[in-house]
Structure 1
Amino acid sequence: MPERTVITFGTFDVFHVGHVRVLKRAAELGDRLVVGVSADALNIAKKGRAPVFNQDERLEIIASLAVVDEVFVEESLEKKRDYIVEHGADVLVMGDDWKGRFDWVGDVCEVVYLPRTPSVSTTGLIEHIAGLS
């Protein structure tokens, strides 16, 4: 049976247990997990702020995880299809907060939306920490 490649994307800023859980669940859906880490510029465009950790640091964090086989910088949300094809992905995994928004790539791979870990969000953590300063 050919190797099954899973791809997912994220900023992965202020790495937390929700990130660990989604990456573990994504890895269980195939033989190889490829992760696109949002570029700093993409994060600024998406969220209106720079990440706490820069893209090189976030790439290093994600690459160090045992469940991750390959990492790359995601430069654009519009290039999802290109990244999927380029990395030979059979499955795209996204959090269920994106449900339905990537169905348009269903002709090149299976699309799976996983539930997010309740009560854990990077934005919430950053806001909590900022409130303690």
Structure 2
Amino acid sequence: MVHRVGYAPGVYDLFHIGHLNILRHARSQCDYLVAGVVSDEMAELAKGRRPVVPLPERLEIVRSVRHVDAAFVETVPDKLETWKQVRFDVIFKGDDWRGTEKGEKLERDFAAVGVEVVYFPYTVHTSSTLLTRALNALVTPGSGEARTAP
């Protein structure tokens, strides 16, 4: 019997150690972990750019992580709407949300339905944004081809 369902939303683009850490820590604090994989359209809306890795591939990667019991595609920006579909007891976010307007709204919204918000340390030294910048720096402007090391 499942007692505590956790939900760990994210884009999970260019999967890296920060993603793995969130999923590992989340699973240690619940009996059943659902990873919410944000759709390409929702990621573009939230971040101003589409993910490098398309949704079906990101979903398969996240679904294959041993800490994840199920993966869910997020297609709406409102986490409460997602909660109505998934019905989790706790939501996990990076601590870069703590104390922000978005984080405070999340906490208020979920307090109203009895869902706990748990923050985990954000992996500062590795992020999909930094990886994307590094990849873009390897591409010769205009050619679309990767540069070779000298």
Q: TM-score, normalization: structure 2?
A: 0.82
Runs of 4+ in 1 over 6 A off after TM superposition: none
Deviations 1:69-93 (A, max 9, x none): 1111111221x11322432211111
Deviations 1:19-66 (A, max 9, x none): 001110011111100011111111111112111111111110100111
Aligned to 2:125: 119
Cα distance in structure 2, aligned partners of 1:37 and 1:2:
22
Matched-pair contact (CA < 8 Å) for 1:84–1:92: no
Aligned to 2:85: 86
Matched-pair contact (CA < 8 Å) for 2:9–2:93: yes
Cα distance in structure 1, aligned partners of 2:76 and 2:2:
29
CA RMSD of aligned residues (A): 1.4
Matched-pair contact (CA < 8 Å) for 2:9–2:37: yes
Structure 1: runs of 5 or more not aligned = none
Cα deviation, residue 3, structure 1: 1.4
Give the match's secondary structure for 2:13. coil
Mean CA deviation greater in 46-55 or 19-28: 46-55
Give 1:28-39 correspondences, 5 Å limit: 28-39=28-39
Deviations 1:87-107 (A, max 9, x none): 221111111111242112123
With CA pairs under 8 Å and 6+ residues apart, which has the higher RCO, 1 or 2? Answer: 1
Matched-pair contact (CA < 8 Å) for 1:13–1:52: yes
Deviations 1:87-132 (A, max 9, x none): 2211111111112421121232111111112311110111011112
Cα distance in structure 2, aligned partners of 1:42 and 1:22:
20
Cα deviation, residue 2, structure 1: 5.3
- For the pair 1:103 / 2:107, whether they are aligned, the reply is yes
Q: TM-score, normalization: structure 1?
A: 0.92
Give 1:4-43 correspondences, 5 Å limit: 4-43=4-43
Q: How many residues align?
A: 132
Q: Kindly tell me: are residues 112 and 10 of structure 1, through their superposed partners in 2, closer, same or farther at Cα, counting changes over 3 Å?
A: same
Structure 2: runs of 5 or more not aligned = 140-150
